[in-house]
Chain A
Amino acid sequence: METWSYIPQLLISGITFGAIYALVGLGFVTIARASQIINFAQGDFVMLGGMMTFFLLKGAGLSYPLAGIFAVAIVILIGFLLHLLVIYPLRKASLPILLMATLGASLFLSSTSALLFGTLPKSLPPFLGRSSFEMGGVSISPQSLFVLGATFLVLLSLYFLSHRTFLGKAMEASSTDPLGADLSGISRNLMIFLAFGVSAGVGSIAGIFITPVFYVNYYSGTLIGLKGFIAAVLGGWGKHGGAILGGFVLGVVESLSVAFIPSGYKDGVAFVILLLILHFRPKGILGSPFIDSRRW
């Protein structure tokens, strides 16, 4: 069988993609843990992270780490602005209106980036050159290891933020028990504001790490964002570990599907998985702390 020999290679690329989906999913989870809002502009944070780094590296001539740090800072600022200009005025609006507003913001961000950075797809150079090493007949590029490391670090820091700090607990309280949070003097709006900043930061980090792996276009944010969201739902909505697990499962399944069905159907696989998981186990693999609340 010819296809079976590809499997290890596909597995590796699936894990790389899975790490990316996991990073994007973590951004969704951060906001969901603070406010139960779903920000459909999350994918555009990812795209903007990559685009900004490209622009600062090639246009402004900064060094790689400096460009990355500035890009993350700018995207965090955009996240704060998104909250102040769109989410905060709509804090009492109903669900379809919030949904439409974040979709409108996504449209604005992606089309503005097309205007500013051009419509051509961009790709960053890998962090450590283009060489890849062989291991057991499978070639692994160092960039994949960087993506995995970044995912792990971001997961670790988010976990510490939400489980070990007062700020993280306050954020979670404002989502799970709004009245209780109000009574104990937590400013819910401030918490959502900060959550948007953190999630924009996570998204832009994801953007910086994935742009060397594949080409980022001004409209690619939507699809990456949706797949990150699917990863978060698949693993267990509202759990950091769930987003990571869901990301890897989604990445591997999607990547392996190429061996068995025509590659054009690859983008559909994620949505088929989504429909299946929503029908048979809406809680996700690990279960979800939010799913049985009335809102869902």
Chain B
Amino acid sequence: MVDQVQKEFRKRDLLYSGALWLLSLILPDPQLHYRREYRIRKRDLFYLSVLLLLPLIWKDVHFHHLMVLAGIHGILALGLTLFLGYAGQISLGHAAFFGIGSYTTAILTTRYAIPSFFAFWASGLAASFFAYLIGKPILKLKGYFLALATLGFGEIFLVMVRESPGLTGGVIGIFNIPFFSLAGLVFDTYLKQYYLVWGVLSGLVLFSKNLVRSRIGRAFLAVASSEDGASAVGIDVGRVKLAAFVIGASFAGLAGSLFASVMSIANPETFSLNLSVLIVMMVILGGMGNLYGPIAGAIFLTCLIDGLSRYQAYSLPIYGVILILLLIFFPDGIGTRLRVRVIYLISYWGRKKRREKVEI
């Protein structure tokens, strides 16, 4: 009797640990900061192959377009998660850096006919330059006041864009921005743009993965958990926060450049407070302090907004309600919460079987 129970145990154990292993292949583990260096895991290869094959399997133009948008939002959310999720600071002005990147590309390619490849890097540089200028004075603020100051920066950016039509085209914006092109290859279809955007995103993920395991990445986490503690162990808190802000902004600038050359339009309405709120939501729903989460959050929210847009006037109220419900029920991110739930369910299933056996 005992032998039989023991034997069945092992079988079940194998089963649900197998399920857990499968899960670990798909879902990222949010608590892996302590690993010092990054090695490519099976999970990353799995994501990469899905990424490569998905548009080839699902040949829907609307889906491709949606995924291009989701990839751009993913770059934005990835940049913000370094600042919000890792360094623990809040920014409601991230859309402004997106806008700076967008307008840099728009102006350089339409006025000065600079190749979009160079404009792409110039956008990242411009955004990080402005982030350095604005971050230097305001990053001494904390909490709500930092949120308000960054929000103020975003609003000032919008006013400047609207009021200088000579440079930015005013409220109308800049049209006919050429598509991204590299060595004669023009990214003019949604499929090509998909590979462009997600390729850039993969590169940035690799960069961020190494960054958060470097000295400065661990300094981000230390600053997030306690500024006093971080400065007590010799971390220059101001510099670390500024670094997180500037890196996040440069990601946003690159995303803005991609957005301008994919949509071939730069318009101030795109870079309003709503976009900043959306990016912060992506990071929160993806889970703080984890790199794949915000990208998943970006895909989820982009699809949600697209799905809601069919309800016309009702879409915004529904969107507001869904946001609040998600915040109430998944405050530490959908992925984190779901992962805990699924692991609990699987282990519960194992325990239940075991309990039944033992009772006999």
**Which residues of A are in contact with B by a Cβ distance under 8 Å?**
38, 85-86, 89-90, 93-97, 99-101, 103-105, 107-109, 111-112, 114-115, 222, 226, 229-230, 233, 262, 264-265, 267-268, 271-272, 274-275, 278-279, 282, 295-296
Cβ–Cβ contact A89 & B328, under 8 A? yes
In the docked arrangement, what's the CA distance between A265 and B159, Å? 6
Cβ–Cβ contact A278 & B138, under 8 A? yes
Nearest CB in chain B to that of A85: its residue: B324
Instruction: Give the residues in chain B near A274, CB-CB below 8 Å.
Output: 148-149, 152
In the docked arrangement, what's the CA distance between A267 and B160, Å? 10
Nearest CB in chain A to that of B91: its residue: A96
A99 CB contact (under 8 Å) in B90, B152, B314, B321:
B90
* A-B CB contact pairs (8 Å), 22 listed: A86-B324, A93-B327, A93-B331, A96-B84, A96-B280, A101-B324, A104-B323, A105-B320, A108-B324, A111-B316, A111-B317, A111-B319, A114-B313, A233-B145, A264-B162, A274-B149, A275-B149, A278-B138, A278-B141, A278-B148, A282-B145, A295-B143
Answer whether A107 and B141 are a contact pair too, CB < 8 Å, given A262-B163, A275-B153: no
6 A-B pairs closest in CB distance: A108-B320, A111-B316, A268-B159, A271-B152, A104-B323, A107-B320
CB distance from B162 to the nearest CB of A (A): 6
Name which of B274, B281, B316 has the most chain A CB atoms within 10 A of its CB: B316
CB distance from A192 to the nearest CB of B (A): 16
A90 CB contact (under 8 Å) in B148, B277, B281, B331:
B331
Cβ–Cβ contact A97 & B143, under 8 A? no
Nearest CB in chain A to that of B171: its residue: A264
Cβ–Cβ contact A268 & B331, under 8 A? no
B144 at the interface (CB under 8 A from A): yes
Main secondary structure of the interface of A (DSSP, over half): helix
In the docked arrangement, what's the CA distance between A108 and B159, Å? 25
Cβ–Cβ contact B155 & A226, under 8 A? yes
CB distance from A104 to the nearest CB of B (A): 4
Cβ–Cβ contact A264 & B159, under 8 A? yes
Answer whether A296 and B151 are a contact pair too, CB < 8 Å, given A104-B320, A105-B324, A108-B320: no
Cβ–Cβ contact B160 & A268, under 8 A? yes
B166 at the interface (CB under 8 A from A): no
Cβ–Cβ contact B313 & A279, under 8 A? no
CB distance from B201 to the nearest CB of A (A): 23
B residues 307-356 touching A (CB-CB < 8 Å): 313-314, 316-317, 319-321, 323-324, 327-328, 331
B residues 78-134 touching A (CB-CB < 8 Å): 84, 90, 92
Nearest CB in chain A to that of B152: its residue: A271
Cβ–Cβ contact B327 & A272, under 8 A? no
Cβ–Cβ contact B327 & A268, under 8 A? no
Known: A112-B317, A275-B149. 20 other contacts (CB 8 A): A38-B144, A90-B331, A95-B143, A96-B84, A101-B327, A104-B327, A108-B316, A108-B321, A109-B320, A111-B317, A111-B319, A114-B313, A114-B316, A115-B313, A233-B148, A267-B159, A271-B155, A271-B156, A278-B148, A296-B145
